[in-house]
């Protein structure tokens, strides 16, 4: 089940499965989000590409309890809370997730998630988490956005210069990014911490820049599987690693969110072309 947006200004698509945005293209532009041609669209699988919603942990579950990679939110059905055509011509869709059997079995019984997506000349996504438990909720989250690019070897990502990051391809060592834009020439899996900066994906081949602004997020993750890792991803075609890069808006690792009883946290990503 999905909602398809088709207006004079924009095309978009979002699945109820995982509240997963799979398409956003301002009119006349190439799609901005990457979507694998081999994505499985299976009930227990995350869609490969678009914007997986990661909650309540990032990567493997840390407290050695059972649970799927990147949490459960991206592989359970969400419900539609609201849809509306805004005065500015953009289409707004709000999806919600309350604890279901899967969440309860994993020990998460008192939360409410809302993903608000605005499909317009700018793609705006807001992930709102409300803690309905009498105790603090500590969680990680991400809008794990896959961007469509011409060629991973031709792009650069600015905005993360001089930031500290965890290098997941090098024993999770803590490193510091150089003073020049990040370029990709091998498997790259970097968790940049304590950064609220906007990032820009520079794609000269397609004569475009993708600007990713954010709020309520202190972590930015950059990922490309490169050749060998891509071979292990059965839901990606062999050459698709060259045409995608993840620049993820997140709160992960030591940036995990500590939410007091009854409190709400909002994390926003705003994506536009320039
Ligand atoms: O965000 C990067 C990452 O954590 C990588 O380590 C890689 O596992 C990627 O997410 C994709 O994870 P997935 O579970 O969607 O295959």
Token code pair at residue 10: 């924009």
Q: How many degrees, rounded to 5, is the angle at CA 221 between CA 204 and CA 172?
A: 125
Active-site hit among 144, 192, 213, 240: 144
Going from the Cα of 141 to the center of ligand 1, the distance in angstroms, rounded, reads 13
Q: pLDDT, tens digit, for every residue of 55-109?
A: 999 999 987 889 999 999 999 999 999 999 999 999 999 999 999 999 999 999 9
The pLDDT value recorded for residue 59 is 97
Burial 74-107 (b: 16+ CB within 10 A, else e): bbbebeeeeeeeeeeebbbbbbbbebeebbeebe
The HSE-up count of residue 166 (CA atoms within 13 Å, CB side) is 14
Neighbours of 135 (CB within 10 A): 9
Please report which confidence band the pLDDT of residue 248 belongs to, taking 50, 70 and 90 as the band edges: very high
Largest CA distance in the chain: 52
Please report which confidence band the pLDDT of residue 32 belongs to, taking 50, 70 and 90 as the band edges: very high
Pocket residue to mutate for ligand 1, from 22, 144, 228, 229, most atoms within 8 A of Cβ: 144
The pLDDT value recorded for residue 103 is 95
In CATH, the architecture of 2-273 is: Distorted Sandwich (2.70)
Going from the Cα of 161 to the center of ligand 1, the distance in angstroms, rounded, reads 22
The pLDDT value recorded for residue 181 is 98
Residue 248: φ, ψ to 5°? -105, 135
Calculate mean pLDDT across residues 22-51.
Answer: 97
Calculate mean pLDDT across residues 182-197.
Answer: 98
Instruction: Give percent of the chain with pLDDT exceeding 70.
Output: 100
40 lines ligand 1 (CB under 6 A): no
Active site annotation includes 248: yes
The pLDDT value recorded for residue 179 is 98
Q: pLDDT, tens digit, for every residue of 150-186?
A: 999 999 999 999 999 999 999 999 999 999 999 999 9
Domain ranges of the chain: 2-273
Active site annotation includes 112: no
The pLDDT value recorded for residue 160 is 98
The pLDDT value recorded for residue 64 is 81
């Amino acid at each position: 089940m999905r909602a398809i947006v088709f207006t004079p200004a924009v095309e978009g698509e979002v699945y109820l499965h995982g509240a997963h945005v799979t398409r956003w293209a301002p009119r006349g532009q190439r799609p901005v989000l990457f979507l694998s041609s081999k994505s499985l669209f299976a009930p227990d699988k995350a869609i490969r590409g678009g914007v997986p919603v990661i909650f309540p942990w990032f990567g493997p579950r840390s407290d050695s309890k059972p649970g799927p990679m990147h949490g459960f939110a991206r592989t359970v059905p969400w419900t539609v809370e609201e849809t509306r055509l805004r005065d500015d011509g953009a289409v707004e869709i709000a999806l919600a997730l309350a604890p279901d059997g899967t969440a309860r079995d994993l020990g998460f019984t008192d939360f409410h998630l809302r993903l608000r997506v605005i499909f317009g000349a700018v793609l705006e996504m807001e992930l709102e988490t409300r803690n309905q438990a009498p105790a603090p909720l500590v969680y990680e989250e991400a809008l794990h956005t896959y961007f469509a690019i011409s060629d991973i070897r031709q792009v650069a990502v600015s905005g993360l210069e001089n930031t500290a990051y965890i290098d997941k391809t090098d024993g999770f060592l803590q490193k510091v990014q150089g003073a020049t834009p990040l370029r990709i020439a091998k498997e790259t899996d970097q968790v940049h911490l304590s950064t609220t900066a906007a990032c820009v994906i520079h794609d000269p081949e397609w004569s475009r820049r993708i600007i990713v602004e954010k709020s309520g997020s202190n972590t930015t993750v950059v990922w490309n599987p490169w050749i060998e890792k891509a071979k292990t991803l059965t839901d990606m075609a062999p050459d698709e690693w060259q045409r995608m890069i993840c620049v993820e808006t997140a709160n992960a690792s030591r940036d995990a969110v500590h939410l007091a009883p009854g409190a709400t946290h909002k994390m926003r990503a705003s994506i536009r072309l320039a």
